Amino acid sequence: MKPKVHPATRVAVLGAGSWGTTFAKILADGGADVVLWARRPELAKEIAEGRRNSDYLPGINLPVGLRATSRLDLALAGAEQVFVSVPSQSLRENLIAAEPYLAPGAIIVSLMKGVERSTGLRMSEVIEQVLPIDPSRIAAISGPNLALEIAKEQPTAAVVSSSSLETAQAVAMLANTRYFRSYVNTDVIGTEFGGVLKNLIAVAIGIVDGVGYGENTKASIITRGLVEMTDFAVAYGAHPETLAGLAGLGDLIATCQSPLSRNNTAGRLLGQGYSITDVTKQMQQTTEGLASVGPILELARAKGVEMPIVEQVRQVLAGTLNPRDIAPHLTTDSGEPQGERTIDDGQAHGSAALWGSLKRTFDQLRHSRRGTGGN
């Protein structure tokens, strides 16, 4: 008797930039039947016929089974899971265009790391607002995931997060291949904010690099940055463990130390003295951090969270702070030298929460048998 062959799960990836194309490759290599939607017909043709996306992923051969189209209706027809990877500011308009073609019961997965500038909403919140689907069918993926490294099949991991563990697991089953491992959690707030906030710290690190300061400055900004990220995310209901995991600390390390990061690159140019107008012109690809600074500071103010690093990034972007004077880890939000908050012993809420969460993460790792849960 012939062995029973399960048909591959049909999925769609919307957005054929560096991350959308890389994620389509992950899913195809993991065995899914993937259709990648590119806005431009010539790009869809290059991917479908040449198995290349030479502008975004130079030198990468895409899997033979990966299909591509510039027609949303064809990409979405029968797709059980839809992975969205367009610039955050265009998510709303793309969802409106996609809605008529979504299969009933489809799971929608955000691959994006931004907030909507006009509303301050996270990507899963925009999805929930625009589409008539149950929130339990929405997921978000985040982690140390520099696209080009993954396209070269260098191994890494990510977190799939959904308010429904079942949904997160269904997505993680597909987003799994020999070079990409998906963990699951149910902390959507922490997972999404981790991705948004590390971009801002990476801009600060880029500025410091551009100015020519060294490793001590960067290490202290990264460390205080993680506290700032944790303070902010916890104030919005995140679990501190998430910020100590792949979607927080993991992504912070990857983005702050890699020249592949667009946020880091934009910061470096600012540190070298280019204006934000010049930087925006030079950046060929999506640089989410530049759009997130304003809304994140507004959200921080609403909860009374101090974000001295993000505040100084804003000032450099606005041209009101000389990049050489960046020393956000030495000041408070208002620019005053720190008083008791210079004590690095857990006085700050973030430090205490972070320490507790790091300890829990280590405990979890020690006790985890198969390591598929957690963050």
Ligand X SMILES: O=C(CO)COP(=O)(O)O
Ligand Y SMILES: NC(=O)C1=CN([C@@H]2O[C@H](COP(=O)(O)OP(=O)(O)OC[C@H]3O[C@@H](n4cnc5c(N)ncnc54)[C@H](O)[C@@H]3O)[C@@H](O)[C@H]2O)C=CC1
**Among positions 136, 275, 280, 285, the unique one binding ligand Y when judged by CB under 6 A:** 285
Residues 142-171: x where in contact with ligand Y by CB under 6 A, - otherwise, as a string: ---xxx------------------------
94 binds ligand Y (CB under 6 A): yes
Q: Which of 198, 218, 281, 359 is catalytic?
A: 198
Residue type, 245: G
Place of tokens 């790391």: 113
**Among positions 53, 177, 182, 261, the unique one binding ligand X when judged by CB under 6 A:** 261
Assigned token pair, 142: 């985040």
255 binds ligand X (CB under 6 A): yes
Assigned token pair, 40: 């431009």
Contacts 24+ apart (CB under 8 A), 154-159: 154/179, 155/179, 155/180, 155/181, 156/180, 156/181, 157/181, 157/182, 157/183, 157/246, 157/250, 158/182, 158/183, 158/246, 158/247, 159/183, 159/184, 159/185, 159/191, 159/242, 159/245, 159/246, 159/247, 159/375
- Name the helix (H) or strand (E) containing 138: strand 138-142
161 binds ligand X (CB under 6 A): no
Residue 13 to residue 112: CA distance in whole angstroms: 12
Assigned token pair, 317: 């972007």
16 binds, among ligand Y, ligand X, none (CB under 5 to 8 A by kind): ligand Y
Q: Could you tell me the smallest distance in angstroms from the CB atom of residue 303 to ligand X?
A: 24
**Among positions 11, 12, 15, 106, the unique one binding ligand Y when judged by CB under 6 A:** 15
Count of C-beta atoms within a 10 Å radius of residue 225: 26
Total residues contacting ligand Y (rule CB under 6 A)? 24
Cβ-proximal residue to ligand Y, closest one: 17
85 binds ligand Y (CB under 6 A): yes
Residue 159 to residue 237: CA distance in whole angstroms: 18
**Among positions 202, 238, 279, 348, the unique one binding ligand X when judged by CB under 6 A:** 202
**Among positions 187, 228, 251, 306, the unique one binding ligand X when judged by CB under 6 A:** 251
202 binds, among ligand Y, ligand X, none (CB under 5 to 8 A by kind): ligand X
DSSP 8-state class, residue 162: -
Please enumerate in sequence order all residues whose Cβ is within 8 A of that of 273, keeping only pairs 6 or more positions apart, or say none: 210, 323
> Restricting to residues 38-67, which ones interact with ligand Y according to CB under 6 A?
39, 56
Q: Are 358 and 244 in contact (CB under 8 A)?
A: yes
- Please indicate if the annotation marks 39 as binding a ligand: yes
Tell me which residues are annotated as active site: 198
* Binding site, annotated residues for NADPH: 18-19, 39-40, 56, 113, 147, 262, 288
Where along the sequence are the contacts to ligand X (CB under 6 A)? Answer: 113, 144-146, 199, 202, 251, 254-255, 261-264, 288
Where along the sequence are the contacts to ligand Y (CB under 6 A)? Answer: 15-20, 39, 56, 85-88, 90, 94, 111-114, 145-147, 285-286, 288
